[in-house]
Structure 1
């Protein structure tokens, strides 16, 4: 989650190019007025550092499979995002996950035989180009303050990603994750919408944790993250209602993949 896969591009990224003081000496970075890459994206990776802030706005779940990744749900069905309009502009002020704020930059491992990470960007984003608008990337051949700030943010994201991996490993070790299922009964319908394809904390197993394991999770800060996740699940019905209001509901009542 925290570094670019060697043979595949991460979510949102269409291409990756290493930032270079030679090739990009006269390039500038400008803020994106809209995030069209979000329009059809219903789930965004989330770090454990963000659970408390994100839980106020999004349901937080874990992806299916042996290597679960925390996800902030911006919609309950694939291709539906209830938090942005059709142009990719936020409808209301909400917490924006760091994964989104990091785009179009990314720390990536360019050589499989090296652990060194290089600052890269997506050249297709439209946020970085030659011109007079935006912040200079290099000044007198050296990284500008803007680039240094981006680098620091990306490094912090990597560190948060490592903490998230350890957090998920602790959940797996305690066998707290289970296959999730949420059933929502809409008005004027005789069949519920059933959402599966994700993982969530098993509250029964949480209650049955040994005292020493429970105490360790409280001391290392894991327990507040678990509760933030559990409380956030109540927002699934709000996201569902937003989809209904926007007329973006599927025609079937089985929605197997969140």
Structure 2
């Protein structure tokens, strides 16, 4: 009598932003482990300048960050969190995120993520939970355990549910990017800053909505964008550009910079 062979274990391929040692989460390897609050909760993100956003986050994120797009051909939205240096200006000296600012979902789901098993049916891939084993909060007997007696702990199940929701949002965001790429509305742009008593100088290049192109868009194309719910995202991106100034001011306050110093890389030992 023939037997159905057991499913092969999922395989992990590729790289994941901010994950230093991504591994499949399994009872065999991670039983007894859990998460406790590390000394620097957001230390894993303190050296990044931008963080991925889903389209559902843009309306909130625009209040705190300049929002840009990753690429003209694949315009996924990003929240800018650092300038000039590889310093995240929203991670405080304590390692906490600025409590007044929105925390992007990509960071809130860390150190977990949902990934497709590359060895499964591509039309209906199996999904697996990934954990960054390098995260400082992972400990033997952690406060929030990965597993209970019958499977994932209640806390881990909440993390899994959030990863699943985030993956749905990510898929919608990819659809948005694919659709937006069909319109010639994005362009390379330059952010400028004018120090007190000085002249305007560029400090960042980014991809954003070209406002005149949007204004000149044919009526039928404009209607297409409205019906596809893309317009609010584009206008939110444009409105977020005022945050370049507040981000530069944040850098100046953090490092006590004035005049042209604000536009210069910091000297580090």
TM-score normalised by structure 1 residue count? 0.86
Aligned partner (choices 30, 54, 62) of residue 55 of structure 1? 62
- Checking the alignment, whether the CA contact within 8 Å between 2:75 and 2:180 is kept in structure 1 is no
Residue 21 of structure 1 and its aligned partner are, at CA, apart by 2.1
Q: Secondary structure at the match of 1:173?
A: coil
- Checking the alignment, whether the CA contact within 8 Å between 2:73 and 2:181 is kept in structure 1 is no
- Checking the alignment, whether the CA contact within 8 Å between 1:25 and 1:141 is kept in structure 2 is no
Which residue is equivalent to 1:125? 135
Residue 112 of structure 1 and its aligned partner are, at CA, apart by 4.7
Which residue is equivalent to 2:203? 194
Which residue is equivalent to 2:163? 154
Matched length: 249
Q: Structure 2 regions of 5+ residues with no counterpart?
A: 1-10
- Checking the alignment, whether the CA contact within 8 Å between 2:186 and 2:208 is kept in structure 1 is yes
Which residue is equivalent to 1:143? 152
- Checking the alignment, whether the CA contact within 8 Å between 1:35 and 1:87 is kept in structure 2 is no
**Map 1:1-258 → 2, pairs under 5 A:** 6-7=13-14, 9-32=15-38, 34-64=41-71, 66-112=73-119, 114=121, 115-131=125-141, 133-190=142-199, 192-196=201-205, 198-247=206-255
Q: Secondary structure at the match of 1:170?
A: helix
Worse overlay, 141-150 or 228-237: 141-150
Q: Secondary structure at the match of 2:27?
A: coil
Residues of 2 paired with 1:252 and 1:112: CA distance? 50
Residue 193 of structure 1 and its aligned partner are, at CA, apart by 3.2
Residues of 1 paired with 2:155 and 2:132: CA distance? 17
Cα deviation 1:39-91 (Å, max 9, x = unaligned):
22111111111000101111100124633331101122241222122342223
Larger Rg over CA atoms: 2
Residues of 2 paired with 1:102 and 1:241: CA distance? 29
Residues of 2 paired with 1:42 and 1:155: CA distance? 26
Residues of 2 paired with 1:190 and 1:182: CA distance? 13
Regions of 4+ moved over 4 Å: 248-255
Residue 192 of structure 1 and its aligned partner are, at CA, apart by 1.4
- Shift of the 189–228 alpha-carbon distance from structure 1 to 2, 3 Å rule, reads same
Residues of 1 paired with 2:184 and 2:264: CA distance? 27
TM-score normalised by structure 2 residue count? 0.83
